[in-house]
Chains A and B, each alone.
Chain A
């Protein structure tokens, strides 16, 4: 954003000040994430940069915390990772199915009470997590699903569907319904029409909603804190416990892995968004 030649000096100063402020904010946003990365390779047990690290001495760095994360005895991370993935994958599948169906219904112009139903469907996103946690805990305890995987999966479906509903509804807002009518007039049954025509077109929305649902489940602590027993511990629960009790570098090793995972998700989400915009003919 180069300034034109005729800019007066005080606007020039103002402009550089503005860029400086923006730079600071971007730094504030992104820098904290990069602290974790070097410290997770710390050879010492402290969570500060040792003198050796500042001199970039190779002896000051090690991968011992990563080894500890994977092979460490009585280490909870293996079980936690397994549980986290199982729960997140099933919760994502559930959210996608329920959310996509609901979004298809909501996008129909024949849908009665659209506003009220939409508000109900996305309420888990608006209600503070702690209240959702309390309510879901009461329900799961009543039906005997507390401290079970199924209970946590159902809870995460509740929290994940709003994202799918929102993203799929957004994709459907540019959807040309005459295509599906054309398909049915050519003799396709509704199921085939959906699988061959509608689904491929709304797939970017479905997947990005699914990504949101996955991340929500994978990162969720509050509700799991109420619901989880010892066998259902997840990565966030272990991190929560670790952060409350003693901050060990092993947690930073896990955190680094999680950051790598979020980079992957970010790239996928961004590619999907662009593809979706291209498909719907939105060019910027």
Chain B
């Protein structure tokens, strides 16, 4: 309809175009309103708290708030030589309040992180400051301990002035910023986090590989068998899938213990002697075996759903054109299953990289992963900002993988069961 003939009007006299637009807008709002309750709920209880972990991980206001006057006075100080009298006075006044409120211990611990040996110096000051006379605090403080004459200690205090720090992230990769503000690695024998990161990646990689190698043949079998047999065999995949994670871990703990059935079997077939039963639990072996079995269904199901759609006539066509079964498999069948492989591998990898329960129970000391370290700092050391920093580093890794997954398969193609 051209514009010269006039606009088409709907029954209530509004131009049709506008009326349609209105209806469209109404539908949009309706659809959005349906999603809103869940979206709001998740944003408030989940998304914002995760974002909040970031502010917690860089938060370093504790020391800043404990020494307000000192940091005010230090603004003028260039850090080259010993600070002037005002800084000493401000520090004395701040510290006096801390001692009075019995919170000086926290400052001692925090500053000791910054410079070793700070704790004893501060403790001594806490005892002596009661007898301080008014005026000339610089002299009096320096008399308490000779280290107060060392400008390094004052620089250490100044380094904690900013309310935000990225030091927790550096600690997560075994680095720290030293006295000159340079970023350096910690001593070689103390690089525990890097070992954990690489072990986590290694375990996730190999578990994914094992799962793939084991899932491919059985997914193929399930997809090619007649329904009545495959349904029965599918139970072998689905029953573990629906069974409690702890139950499955418990069964592995029974199987893998030193007097357990697997070891009995090894002794029986003569692989090991009765008195040299290998330790298969509380180490990496246990983590590998149990995690592979637990995550295997997550690999089988996407592979199966892709293989189910591949027509068997494609393989027959390949063979009839002269390909050997092996060539037909690698040139025809395998490329068609790649979407399933991608989905399964990324799903298993994402799940494995953040695994917590199974490594904690069967992993022992050499089989624990980065998640266990996060839980340890959450529950034992109570260094929540460090736990948050490690969690966010892990999350970043997972989101990168998730993004790849989305590009390759699309998140709305996830199939369950």
Contact = CB atoms under 8 A, between A and B. Distances in A.
A101 B235 contact: no
Interface stretch (B30-38, B146-154, B176-184, B269-277): B30-38
B74 interface: no
A155 B229 CA distance: 40
B239 A221 contact: no
A32 B46 contact: no
B416 A166 contact: yes
B53 interface: yes
A33 interface: yes
Contacts of B32: 105, 111-112
Contacts, number: 261
A199 interface: no
Contacts of B73: none
A70 interface: no
B104 interface: no
A251 B247 CA distance: 9
A32 B321 CA distance: 45
A84 to B, nearest CB: 11
Given A131-B391, A134-B374, A266 B250 contact: no
Interface in A75-107: 98-99, 101-102, 104-106
Q: Is the interface of B mostly helix, strand, loop or mixed?
A: helix
Interface string B211-255: 000110110010011010000010111111011111111111111
A255 B243 CA distance: 9
B42 A262 contact: no
Interface residues of B, number: 92
B368 interface: no
A26 B236 contact: yes
Contacts of A129: 354, 356
A35 B242 contact: no
A117 B33 CA distance: 13
Chain A: number of interface residues, binned into ranges: 35 or more
Contacts of A212: 416
Given A21-B217, A32-B293, A240 B236 contact: no
B100 interface: no
A69 to B, nearest CB: 14
A134 B354 CA distance: 13
Nearest to B243: A262
Interface in B133-157: none
A158 interface: yes
A60 interface: no
Given A139-B48, A244-B360, 8 more contacts: A32-B255, A35-B251, A36-B251, A101-B34, A128-B371, A130-B374, A136-B45, A158-B41
Interface of B: 24, 27-28, 30-39, 41-43, 45-50, 52-53, 56, 214-215, 217-218, 221, 224-225, 227, 233, 235-240, 242-255, 257, 259-261, 293, 296-297, 308, 325, 350, 353-357, 360-361, 371, 374-375, 378-379, 384, 387-388, 391-392, 394-395, 398, 402, 406, 411-412, 414-417
Q: Nearest 9 pairs between A and B by C-beta?
A: A128-B354, A105-B34, A108-B31, A105-B35, A139-B49, A110-B27, A135-B49, A102-B38, A32-B251
